[in-house]
Structure 1
Amino acid sequence: MNSNLSTPADLQLCYENVNGSCLKLPYSPGPRMILYAVFGLGAVLAVFGNFLVMISILHFKQLHSPTNFLIASLACADFLVGVTVMPFSMVRSIESCWYFGRSFCTFHTCCDVAFCYSSLFHLCFISIDRYIAVTDPLVYPTKFTVSVSGMCIGTSWILPLVYSGGVFYTGVYDDGLEELSNAVNCVGGCQTVVNKNWVLIDFLAFLIPSLIMIVLYSNIFLVARQQAKKIENIGSKAESSSDSYKSRVARRERKAAKTLGITVIAFMISWLPYSIDSLIDAFMGFITPAYIYEICVWCAYYNSAMNPLIYALFYPWFRKAIKVIMSGMVCKDSSATMNLSTE
């Protein structure tokens, strides 16, 4: 028996003439076009912006540093969000239907969670890197080497991928909620219903690294203020070459920490509403209206598009690298050794 025979004429289905099809609740043409433009812009910025960050750091030898390798790896995670997550979520959010199959739904959800936590872990390691660089700038090069950066990058990828794969491919995330999960995942649906235990674990996995970053950056800015006052106090005195070098290094590291601190703040502001909403939903019986949930989700997704904009605003080397790449000069053999410094 066709499912649409029992469906009122004014209701639409994701799949006509298919038993168990989800109801389709599309937007009117005007809002639909606006949403496609807004969500599509986020996906384009996430893909091309982060691609430019990766190319800039990997191509120009001057940018080969432990911190920048972490930034390039972070950009890779955001790039993958723009490629594997945002376009398909855009269709689901606007059309209220999932047209890409059940298997890809699981893969999509797995990527969504994995790349989110990968970004979080990258930012946590970057905050540790900046803490060492600001508090002990002269010893920093011997403490945070390229090999240490590589281990941080490996950890930031392996743990999230193993965790998300283990949770979503084993099906443990909806233990005890099988009836609700089956109801929302009709034909044409791709909604993940997560039980209280896993939501709590997810929230703690977000909260603990976030608290670590808050503590580290608070200490970074306290130390930075102390260093700035110290430099002011000795500014009127004859400064030795050693003191001058120390002050230049400290100033450079503080500037980098400030920019990356803005990146961390942007991440937490973007993801905090979704994390809180997920926690409330799981413990209050999934009471969040669909449109509130979508707003929280897309605030989180848009974080992947924000980082390249932050770098463009605060990093002169990134702006110069973009000009070189976009002008085609990057194809020249000598471009890799170009000086991108504005000092």
Structure 2
Amino acid sequence: MSSPDFWNSPQVQYCFAFVNNSCPRNVRSLPSVCAMYIAMIAAIVMTMLGNMVVIISIAHFRQLHSPTNFLILSMATTDFLLSCVVMPFSMVRSIESCWYFGDLFCKVHSCCDIMLCTTSIFHLCFISVDRYYAVCDPLHYVTKITIPVIEVFLFISWSIPIFFAFGLVFSELNLIGAEDFVVAIDCEGLCVLIFNKLWGVLASFIAFFLPGTVMVGIYIHIFTVARRHAKQIGMGPTTKQVGSESKTKSSSKKESKATKTLSIVMGVFVLCWMPFFVLTITDPFINFTTPEDLYNAFLWLGYFNSTFNPIIYGMFYPWFRKALRMIFTGIIFHPDSSTLSLFPAHA
């Protein structure tokens, strides 16, 4: 990102008033500061509570213990951790333009930021693979997407982003070639994640554009196959095997709805994070001149993706709304509540 755009402000305040080489602090009006804190705290709380409901629902109710839902559970855990570990500290940094939490935690925070973002998109990529087999090869879905396979998916989704994020930040490979800029902006109270030209492209390609392209390709194929199946079912015989056909239609409709919902989750992810990753690529090539507020706006747009996911579940999954009611009314504390049905009897 660029150096702070308030360096030459006539009304300079500092992050640490009695420390030499302290960074300038962003001077904002009190109403704007209050509005920003209210909006960001609301987003953090909604992200935390929404994803906590998803985690509790899938973990508690046995009816939700399916391979797809275990992936969703892990992704909700990723979003929940983002709301706890990353977003609160980014909020202070975005509003105050100061980092009050030490140099070591600055690196850890940057690592968690990269890791959790990359982990989310890896989960979405594997969810698209799960949906591919559910819709395009339903007869072999149960044998191909098993719990051991899901465990491998989860291991890859977490281990590679952890290695990638912590390895990149602590090795400082992302700073090679940008040393002069780093020295020029260095001050006490600064915590920014800077990518050189090479790693701006590589990191965005690895964490976003490559898996995003794979997901879009898979979902386009899924929708093509789903539409063809729907036409075949609509043109099928109506006099024989009525019960079997009814079950087939019901199953097809359920898989189609789940696929559409998860594709909306993916689409929201792409729309939320694409501006940030495009900026990550272009910023080194324009000598890090991106305004700080624009950078923060795109970053928080990406964070808001973790807020939107539970809202999408609530809009499209009846089981989520029913589980939500059971959680807030305390029904989940009743004996054998984990065996209660969350689906309509004739779904």
Q: Which residue of 2 aligns with 1:121?
A: 122
Q: Can you list the C-alpha shifts for 1:182-218, whole angstroms capped at 9, x where unaligned?
A: 3334101101211111111112111110011001100
CA distance in 1, matches of 2:38, 2:184: 31
**Matched residues, percent identical?**
42
Deviation at 1:240, TM superposition (A): 4.3
Amino acid across the alignment from 2:209: L
1:287 pairs with one of 286, 289, 296: 289
Amino acid across the alignment from 2:181: L
Deviation at 1:8, TM superposition (A): 9.2
Work out which structure has the larger RCO, using CA pairs closer than 8 Å and 6 or more positions apart in sequence: 2
Q: Which residue of 1 aligns with 2:93?
A: 92
Q: Which residue of 1 aligns with 2:36?
A: 35
Amino acid across the alignment from 1:111: C
CA distance in 1, matches of 2:9, 2:122: 49
Deviation at 1:222, TM superposition (A): 0.9
For the 8 Å contact 2:85–2:109, the answer to whether it is kept is yes
Deviation at 1:161, TM superposition (A): 0.3
CA distance in 1, matches of 2:140, 2:247: 13
Deviation at 1:280, TM superposition (A): 0.8
- Pick closer, same or farther for the CA change 1:9–1:286 going to 2, 3 Å: closer
Amino acid across the alignment from 2:299: V
SS in 1 for 2:139: coil
Is residue 15 from structure 1 mapped to residue 16 from structure 2 by the alignment?
yes
For the 8 Å contact 1:137–1:249, the answer to whether it is kept is no
Q: Which residue of 1 aligns with 2:70?
A: 69
CA distance in 1, matches of 2:102, 2:340: 47
Q: Gaps (5+ residues) in structure 2?
A: 1-7
For the 8 Å contact 2:47–2:306, the answer to whether it is kept is yes
Q: Which residue of 2 aligns with 1:271?
A: 273
TM-score under structure 2 normalisation? 0.94
1:217 pairs with one of 211, 216, 219: 219
Q: Which residue of 2 aligns with 1:312?
A: 314
Amino acid across the alignment from 2:232: K
CA distance in 2, matches of 1:44, 1:94: 17
Q: Which residue of 1 aligns with 2:159?
A: 158
CA distance in 2, matches of 1:207, 1:195: 18
Q: Which residue of 2 aligns with 1:334?
A: 336
CA distance in 2, matches of 1:8, 1:297: 24
CA distance in 2, matches of 1:14, 1:95: 8
Q: Which residue of 2 aligns with 1:321?
A: 323
Deviation at 1:277, TM superposition (A): 0.8
Deviation at 1:172, TM superposition (A): 1.6
For the 8 Å contact 1:50–1:78, the answer to whether it is kept is yes
Deviation at 1:242, TM superposition (A): 3.6
Q: How many residues align?
A: 337
SS in 2 for 1:310: helix
CA distance in 2, matches of 1:40, 1:318: 24
Moved more, 120-129 or 328-337: 328-337
- Pick closer, same or farther for the CA change 1:132–1:9 going to 2, 3 Å: closer
Q: Which residue of 2 aligns with 1:207?
A: 209
For the 8 Å contact 2:12–2:27, the answer to whether it is kept is no
Deviation at 1:229, TM superposition (A): 1.1
Amino acid across the alignment from 2:337: S
TM-score under structure 1 normalisation? 0.95
Is residue 247 from structure 1 mapped to residue 252 from structure 2 by the alignment?
no
SS in 1 for 2:46: helix
CA distance in 2, matches of 1:259, 1:49: 17
Deviation at 1:235, TM superposition (A): 6.2
For the 8 Å contact 1:181–1:192, the answer to whether it is kept is no
- Pick closer, same or farther for the CA change 1:197–1:334 going to 2, 3 Å: same
Q: Gaps (5+ residues) in structure 1?
A: 1-6
For the 8 Å contact 1:133–1:140, the answer to whether it is kept is yes
Moved more, 146-155 or 232-241: 232-241
Moved more, 242-251 or 113-122: 242-251
